[in-house]
Amino acid sequence: MSELTLTVMRLGFLAVLWLFVIVAVQVIRSDLFGTRVTQRGSRRNADARPQQARQTPAPPQQRQQQQQGGRQRRGAPTKLVVSEGSLTGTTVALQGQTITLGRAHDSTIVLDDDYASSRHARIYPDRDGQWIVEDLGSTNGTYLDRTRLTAPTPIALGAPIRIGKTVIELRK
Amino acid sequence: MSVVTNTTTIGAIEAPSRRNTELALLAFAVAIPVFAYLNVGLALDGKVPTGMLGYGLGLGLLAGVAHLVVRKFARYADPLLLPLATLLNGLGLVLIWRLDQSPRLIRLAELSFGVFSPSATKQLMYSALGIALFAAVLMLLKDHRILQRYTYISMAVALFLLILPMFFPARNGAKIWVSIAGFNVQPGEFAKIIIAIFFSGYLMVKRDALALASRRFMGLYLPRGRDLGPILGIWALSILILVFETDLGTSLLFFGLFVVMLYVATERTSWIVFGLLMSVGGAVGVATFEPHVQARVNAWQDPFSCYATDGACQQIGDALLSFGSGGTLGTGLGQGNSDLIGFAANADFILTTVGEELGLAGTMAFLLLYGLIVERGVRTALAARDPFGKLLAIGLSSAFAIQVFVVAGGVMGLIPLTGMTMPFVAAGGSSVLANWALIGILIRISDTARRPAPAPAPSPDAEMTQVVRP
């Protein structure tokens, strides 16, 4: 066996061994840096950031759902944006998953709002991919535009949904 | 609020089980040893070794079985523990096989035993048995808290296992072996798991008494005299092991394990201070009158002064020379001369082969692999929800860590050399079996820890929602 081949194999083996170590560390990266939070909105509310950090929108589930959800329709909303309230600027990607809103800690968007109920409302796609908002029996109600919701209602693109002091809307 | 009960399941997020990550890493972990095998074969004979396919398939089969068992019985277990253990075991097999090919070692074995028997096949058999034990642990141990019931039984069993080798003849200067029907078992390896179970069960009950009933003196919390009983007992036991079995490694392992678990259970630094003082005192005391230990200490202090006269010095000296000639990147697998160490080259001294043939870079990678196993164990302890599981995970991972430290430190000349095996890598059936069982228990605890909690009770929030007044 030529000297060169052996040298290449020797260094190659060390490289592969270290590659394994690095891959293993990558697997546990989330232990070191926490879960990754998806993109934030504008930079206006820089001082409101610390509060937003609490509502990490469960990335693993989104990824799973994305694979199962299939293709989205044309013209369908792709993200949910908080436009008023303490979480202004937060966006959540819409990937076919149900989004729950409320003060409960396991909500997708945890509202830090005294006027919101712990499980206030949910937003989910129906079978055709149309996004629906449903009030979950909240104390103060959920408003789409200016009307208080009594039944699950389809959401138009850009229509403001008001929950307590928070306003959210769906955007492309 | 009646609607709330209907909606509690909506937000539940299914935690990823990460079994596919584990499978991918496992495939990687099988491929690396096969590459190493090819590497050794090409370096030694200049051709692809004949057993490569069988070896690769065998290791792959073992890893596959282990993975399926984890997938079935511990769905949420940590994804790293199994691939790391498999990789270390596989690399150990390659290193042992590489040393089996050494003409020097074959001649040495023929001189001393009359016949040379390759260790790699035996080690492969023990690895298979180890994985079977691992699978059995996962299948039979549905919940690690069952072990808590056997706190005092495990104390008795551990004591029995530790005392047992005293009644068997010493081998190579240390009484750590039990010979039954031709099989040589090292009961200390199994005792380390069993005693970790005892310590966890015991400390879980006694932690408050040990942590709170204490006086403050010079910034240290001094425990009451009667609470000192257990630590003194364990200390006395480890000294007895040292004196009667002349086994520094096991004694260090047990005492160190107890101090670590005591510290974790009580959060009192004073235990660490006491433990260090007591172990140093004990070790120095024993080293002054026990010739076997004394020889080891002398060999550690200056191996080259007695290199030609004393076997222990020669081993350490050879090990240091071996690490030195490896340099940064090593000589390449199959191209070193670490077999010059002769006796125990593929057991206690296997790290020297890593050091010489893979160099500093390879040794560091090995130590990092061990470090990652320990890290996953500690992480499991952090995530565990019950105090017994926490203590057991810490105990098992620190036993693993202490063992690696004791043997690697001994071979590298950091501490006096003691007879212990490098977990998973060194040749030795008891060690492989015990460490697979240890990984099995850690995987069981991590499965319980990472399993999603049952849905919380409805409306956990203390504050009520304010009502908007029109």
CA distance A118 to B120: 62
A103 interfaces chain B, CB cutoff of 8 Å:
yes
Considering only the beta carbons, identify the residue of A13, A98, A119 that sits closest to B4.
A119
Residues of A in contact with B375 (CB under 8 A): 28
Question: Pairing relation of β-strands A79-84 and A166-171?
Answer: antiparallel
Considering only the beta carbons, identify the residue of B369, B459, B468 that sits closest to A140.
B468
- Testing the interface with B: which of A7, A18, A20, A117 to mutate, by most B Cβ within 10 A? A20
Q: B383: closest CA among B150, B2, B78, B156?
A: B78
> A92-101, B193-202, B242-251, B358-367 — which is least confidently predicted?
B242-251
Does residue B84 surpass a pLDDT of 90? yes
Residues of B in contact with A1 (CB under 8 A): 42-43, 46
pLDDT of residue B86: 95
> B125-129, B180-184, B453-457 — which is least confidently predicted?
B453-457
Does residue A23 surpass a pLDDT of 60? yes
Residues of B in contact with A27 (CB under 8 A): 18, 21, 25, 79-80
Residues of A in contact with B359 (CB under 8 A): 14
CA distance A114 to A138: 12
pLDDT of residue B442: 95
pLDDT of residue A31: 63
Taking the alpha carbons at both ends of chain A, their separation in whole angstroms is 62
Q: Given an 8 Å threshold on Cβ–Cβ distance, is A13 in contact with B333?
A: yes
Residues of B in contact with A61 (CB under 8 A): 13-14
CB pairs under 8 A between A and B: 137
- Testing the interface with A: which of B1, B2, B3, B13 to mutate, by most A Cβ within 10 A? B13
DSSP A59-105: HHHHHHHHHHH-PPPTT---EEEEEESTTTTBEEE-SS--EEEESST
Q: Given an 8 Å threshold on Cβ–Cβ distance, is A23 in contact with B28?
A: yes
Does residue A158 surpass a pLDDT of 90? no
CA distance B136 to B66: 10
Give the residue on A whose Cα is nearest the Cα of B335: A6
Share of chain A above pLDDT 90, in %: 8
Considering only the beta carbons, identify the residue of B8, B39, B467 that sits closest to A9.
B39
Express each pLDDT in B312-348 by its tens digit.
788 888 889 999 998 899 888 888 887 777 777 778 8
Taking the alpha carbons at both ends of chain B, their separation in whole angstroms is 21
Does residue A61 surpass a pLDDT of 50? no
Does residue B14 surpass a pLDDT of 60? no
Q: Given an 8 Å threshold on Cβ–Cβ distance, is A106 in contact with B2?
A: no
Cα Rg of chain A (Å, integer): 22
B215 bridge partner residues: B222
Express each pLDDT in B256-269 by its tens digit.
888 899 889 888 88
Extract the runs of DSSP E, i.e. beta strands, from B162-248.
178-180, 183-185, 214-217, 220-223
Residues of B in contact with A7 (CB under 8 A): 332
Does residue B373 surpass a pLDDT of 90? yes
> B299-308, B351-360, B428-437 — which is least confidently predicted?
B299-308
| DSSP 8-state secondary structure symbol assigned to residue B166 | G
Residues of A in contact with B467 (CB under 8 A): 139-140
Express each pLDDT in A75-127 by its tens digit.
678 888 888 888 888 888 887 788 888 888 888 888 888 888 888 898 988 88
In terms of pLDDT, which residue wins out, A133 or B419? A133
pLDDT band at B183 (very low <50, low <70, confident <90, very high): confident
Q: B63: closest CA among B122, B139, B137, B130?
A: B130
CA distance B49 to B98: 11
A15 interfaces chain B, CB cutoff of 8 Å:
no
Considering only the beta carbons, identify the residue of B21, B28, B365 that sits closest to A18.
B365
Residues of B in contact with A114 (CB under 8 A): 463, 465-466
Residues of A in contact with B14 (CB under 8 A): 60-61, 64
- The one-letter code for the residue type at B56 is G
In terms of pLDDT, which residue wins out, B168 or B199? B199
pLDDT of residue B457: 62
Mean pLDDT over residues B289-295, rounded? Answer: 78
Does residue B157 surpass a pLDDT of 80? yes
Residues of A in contact with B84 (CB under 8 A): 24
Considering only the beta carbons, identify the residue of B361, B459, B466 that sits closest to A14.
B361
Say which residues have a Cβ less than 8 Å from residue B57's Cβ, sequence separation at least 6.
none
Express each pLDDT in B116-155 by its tens digit.
778 888 889 999 999 999 999 999 998 888 898 988 898 8
Produce one character per residue of B174-213: b if its CB has 16 or more CB atoms within 10 Å, e if not. bbbbbeeeeeebbbbbbbbbbbbbbbbbbbbeebeebbee
Does residue A68 surpass a pLDDT of 70? no
For the entire predicted model, the pTM comes to 0.74
CA distance B307 to B317: 7
- Testing the interface with A: which of B2, B4, B20 to mutate, by most A Cβ within 10 A? B4
A64 interfaces chain B, CB cutoff of 8 Å:
yes
pLDDT of residue A36: 53
- Testing the interface with A: which of B465, B466, B467, B469 to mutate, by most A Cβ within 10 A? B465
Task: Tell me the domain boundaries of chain B.
Answer: 19-450
Cβ–Cβ under 8 Å, residues B72 and B443: no
Give the residue on B whose Cα is nearest the Cα of A14: B362
Residues of B in contact with A104 (CB under 8 A): 11, 459-461
Does residue A46 surpass a pLDDT of 90? no
pLDDT of residue B85: 95
Mean pLDDT over residues B73-97, rounded? Answer: 92
Considering only the beta carbons, identify the residue of B80, B369, B456 that sits closest to A27.
B80
Q: Given an 8 Å threshold on Cβ–Cβ distance, is A27 in contact with B467?
A: no
Portion 106-165 of A in contact with B at CB < 8 A = 106-108, 114-119, 122, 136-140
Give the residue on B whose Cα is nearest the Cα of A134: B7
Mean pLDDT over residues B434-451, rounded? Answer: 92
Cβ–Cβ under 8 Å, residues A166 and A112: no
CA distance A54 to B385: 22
The beta-carbon contacts of B275-280 under 8 Å, at least 24 apart in sequence, are B275/B231, B278/B231, B278/B235, B279/B235, B279/B238, B279/B252, B279/B255
- Testing the interface with B: which of A3, A10, A100, A115 to mutate, by most B Cβ within 10 A? A10
Distance from CA of A35 to the nearest CA of B (A): 13
Report the phi/psi class of residue B330: left, alpha or beta, with left for phi > 0 and alpha for psi in -120 to 50.
left
Residues of A in contact with B368 (CB under 8 A): 21
- The one-letter code for the residue type at B109 is A
User: Residue B219: is it exposed, middle or buried by C-beta count within 10 angstroms (0-12/13-18/19+)?
Assistant: exposed
pLDDT of residue B172: 64
